[in-house]
A = this chain, B = another copy of it.
């Protein structure tokens, strides 16, 4: 019996998770390139598209990212003109990320991406559903 078998890469759950996440992000890249977003910018925009306005704190919480990542990323989105950044009048510590007309226009370009990428994901609907459920369960437990 190999005393180190638990240290084998193939016996780790973390590794396929890490690698699959990277490969799926890479799958998005050519489509995202066309609309000028990175993957992280894309998931941030998804929340802005949905909420129209969202405070950095909430964005950070929903995306599991901290301000060290978000602050520079949001400045880039602002530079592209797809969001505006303003201090909240009620609480000047907060920064409101708001959708601009250009950001709304970008949404139309992005609308086709989920279907395009989805077709490249080689999972049956039931497998995808199960993966989704398990991952959210994991996420919920890991971040409480």
Contacts and interface: CB of A to CB of B under 8 A. Distances in A.
Nearest to A112: B6
Interface string A1-36: 001101111011111111111111101100000000
A105 interface: no
A63 to B, nearest CB: 7
Tell me how many chains of this kind the complex includes.
Answer: 2
A6 B132 CA distance: 15
Interface string A101-116: 0000001001101110
A88 interface: no
Interface stretch (A76-84, A91-99, A119-127): A119-127
Contact of A7 (B46, B141, B142): B46
Interface of A: 3-4, 6-9, 11-25, 27-28, 39, 43, 46-47, 49-50, 62-64, 107, 110-111, 113-115, 117, 120-123, 127-128, 130-132, 134-139, 141-143
